[in-house]
Amino acid sequence: QVQLVESGGGLVQPGGSLRLSCAASGSIFSIIDMGWFRQAPGNQRELVATITGGDTTNYADSVKGRFTISRDNAKNTLFLQMNSLKPEETAVYYCNADLISKLGYRSVYWGQGTQVTVSS
């Protein structure tokens, strides 16, 4: 079994910063890719950023230059540093991982999400 647990969300003022974390645990053999998605009320879930096992990163155009995705491979932890946050970026942020378990199965896992609210 594999679990992804997000943390670090909360209330922040416009222009402020937050760092989200996602801890992956369980029967993990190899992580292929990890990423962050977000979903605001009434909207579809959208890709924010991804990072491969080789540390190649990809960002949505709307967050380039402000957000940074990174990972600590030793701890199987994913991070998203978010700077200069905007009110329209209020959403639930979800961590996901494309990985191979120790039983040899490739699956995509999702965390439960962490709420980010950008407001004065």
Give the per-residue pLDDT at 53: 86
- d(CA 54, CA 116) in angstroms, rounded, equals 28
What does residue 8 show for φ and ψ, rounded to 5 degrees? 105, -5
Q: Count the neighbouring beta carbons within 10 Å of the beta carbon of residue 53.
A: 14
**CB hemisphere CA count around 12 (13 angstroms):** 22
Q: What is the mean pLDDT of residues 21-34?
A: 94
Report percent pLDDT > 70 for the chain.
Answer: 100
3-state secondary structure of 102: coil
Whole-number pLDDT of residue 16:
98
Q: What pLDDT does 1 receive?
A: 86
Q: Mean pLDDT for the chain? A: 96
**How do residues 72-119 score in pLDDT, each as one tens digit?**
988 889 999 999 999 999 999 999 999 999 999 999 999 999 999 999
8-19: buried (b, 16+ CB within 10 Å) or exposed (e) per residue? bbeebeeeeebe
